[in-house]
Amino acid sequence: MKIFITGGCKNGKTSFAQELAVKLSGNGPRYYIATMVPVDDEDRKRIENHIRDREGQGFITKEISEDIAQVKDLEGTLLIDSVTALLANEMFANRCPKKAFDGLAEVTKSTENAVFVSDFIFSDANLYDEYTEEYRRLLAETGNMLAKECDAVIELCATNRIIHKGGEKLEEIL
């Protein structure tokens, strides 16, 4: 089963994604694919909290900040946290952001169980510079692709779970 989780920052997406990945994997291997490249103390603290949160849950952590297609051959359940950071890494490091999109598309086709986490950054009415708007457009395009390819789509808003797709399949694992 493939699950796409989206929502605002700090709404519990990662904790919920971990819970789902553990249930999906059963006794099989589970991988936490960490995509964030820390740039400040707040990022480092967030990473430390995520590491502490998954202690004892049997995750094998792989830090992959670019070229996500390399995880497509891993046997087991993947938790990719986050699509937002992955796209930023590919785009802002003068790489091709399409590489993130294409890599995630490969992963959805080759992996039996995966949970994808992405931030929802589209609700403000501000207009940003052209480069930032391009990032937002590409993140939306990537989210749309994942929503189409995944069996279930869940939005977290103030820790409330809004199931947009696949509710009946989710009931089996929740």
Residue 7, pLDDT score: 92
Radius of gyration of the chain (CA): 15
pLDDT digit string (tens) for 59-74? Answer: 999 999 999 999 998 9
Compute the mean pLDDT over every residue in the chain, rounded to the nearest whole number: 92
Query: Which of the two residues, 97 and 107, has the higher pLDDT score?
Result: 107
Tokens for 72, please give them.
């497509």
Q: Kindly tell me the sign of the dihedral angle through the C-alpha atoms of 70, 72, 76, 78.
A: positive
- Domain range for 19: 2-173
Model confidence, pTM: 0.92
Angle between helices 130-149 and 83-92 (to 10 degrees): 140
Give the DSSP letter of residue 54: T
Rounded Cα–Cα distance for residues 23 and 170 (Å): 11
Give DSSP secondary structure letters for 157-170: ETTEEEEEE-HHHH
Residue 94, pLDDT score: 62
Read off the pLDDT of each residue in 160-170 and give the average, rounded to a whole number. Answer: 92
Residue 76: other Cβ atoms inside 10 A: 16
Tokens for 51, please give them.
């590491």
Structural domain count, the chain: 1
CATH number of the domain enclosing 135: 3.40.50.300
